[in-house]
Amino acid sequence: MKLIVVKDSEQGGKEAYQIFAEALKNGATVFGLATGSTPLTTYQKLVASKLDFSDAISINLDEYVGLKPDNPQSYQYFMQEHLFKSKPFKRSYLPQGDAKDAAQEVKRYDRVIAENPIDLQLLGIGRNGHIGFNEPGSDFTSATHKVALTPSTIAANARFFKNKDEVPRYAYSMGIGTILKSKKIILEAFGAAKAAAVAAMIEGPVTPACPASALQKHADVVVIVDEAAAAKLKK
C-alpha cells in the first residue's frame, strides 16, 4: 500500500483527482465509483476539471435494496447529482435497488463487471472496516451479493433519512473478491472516527473481522487519509 497523509479532505480530493487524471491519460476506460460523504471532494475536482469521461464506463460499488433510482437517498440519485449530470460517462452501471429478483440482479451485475474489468476503483471505509457494504465477516472471495446491513452501518446511515425506520436494512454490494480484481484501487478516509479502521486495515492482521484488510493482498493500492484518520497508525 502507498499511504498519502493530507491536511484535510479538500487536499485528499486533489490527490485522488490526480490519480484519476493519470489513469485516464494512460488509457483507463472503466472506473469503479463509491458514494457517501468521503468521495465528494474528489467528485468536485473531477466536475471542475476538463477531464472527459464520455468514452469511459463507470461501475458503482453498491446500492440500497428497495430504493428506486429517483429516490433522493438512492446511490443512483447521489451519483447523478454529484458527478454524472456534469461529467457523463458513456455508460454508468449501478445495482438496481428495486429489482424484483435479487438473485437475478446479482448475476446481472457480475456479468456487467466481468464484461468491463475495472481499471481504477475508488473506495471509502466504514467505521467497522467495511468496504462497499462488505461487513465484518465477509468472504474475501465474494462476488456481488445482497447484504444484511449491521446495526452500526444502519445507525451511521440514519443521518441521511428523515427517520430511522426509513433506513434500508439491505443493500447490493460488489464483493471483496470483485474489488480485489480491480487493477488499481484508491481508498479515502477522513476524520478521527475512521482512525481505528484505517489502522486495522493497514497495520492489523488480514482478517474478515476488518474487511478492508483484504487490500493488503492487492498489488496497487493508494490510501489517502487526513491527519485525523491517520492518528492511530504506529509507523
Contact (CB, 8 A) for 87 and 47: yes
3-class SS of residue 77: helix
Exposed (0-12), middle (13-18) or buried (19+): which is 163, by Cβ within 10 Å? exposed
Number of helices (H), then strands (E), belonging to the chain: the values are 7, 10
Q: Which are the catalytic amino acids?
A: 62, 128, 130, 135
**DSSP readout, 151-182?**
HHHHHHHGGGSSSGGGS-SEEEE--HHHHTTS
- Radius of gyration, alpha carbons of the chain: 16
In whole angstroms, what is the distance from residue 88 CA to residue 63 CA?
A: 19
Sequence letter at residue 40: L
In whole angstroms, what is the distance from residue 13 CA to residue 8 CA?
A: 9
